[in-house]
Amino acid sequence: MNISKVLIMILFFAFAGCAHVISQDAMQDINRDVSFEMVLKNPDAFIGETLLLGGDIIETQLFQGKTLLTVLQRPLDFNTKPRVGRKSAGRYIVEVPEFLDPAIYTAGRRITVAGVLVGKEIRPLGNTSYLYPILRRKEIYLWPRETDWNGPRFYFGFGLFHGF
């Protein structure tokens, strides 16, 4: 086998492992020029924009015909997975126009969501009030718990053992 075929195979497998959990159609609609921090400062300026956000579910609330997920925002990695332990810029709400089982969408589970910014809501948070941007879900991906994964685990490190 010649070198060019080997390189093509390596590139194919490298990019195959980087597939996004959100569809290409939804990814095309996302405004990548709008950061979560910008939305927090002035949500009204970005109403109607499609955003890609991720984070940890804080609370799942059921209402007639919809579910609201309160989420602690986390930065996304190259696979659009929320990064564990990274600093959060704040909180937001995802409105889902259907029933999501709170036994599955539990506190602490990570999600990635493509959604349209539809408004804001001020809610109490401790002894203060907090402004939550509200996204209407286009697509949502619930990441498996780390303990749910039964596949191979890979470890990289130099000198000391570091697990990823």
pLDDT in tens, 15-34: 444 568 999 999 999 999 99
pTM to 2 decimals?
Answer: 0.78
Asked if residue 36 lies in contact with residue 112, where contact means CB atoms within 8 angstroms, the answer is no
Q: What is the pLDDT of residue 164?
A: 46
Q: What is the pLDDT of residue 86?
A: 73
Residue numbers of the chain with a pLDDT score lower than 50: 6-17, 159, 161-164
Q: Domain 19-146 is classified in which CATH homologous superfamily?
A: Nucleic acid-binding proteins (2.40.50.140)
Q: What is the pLDDT of residue 129?
A: 96
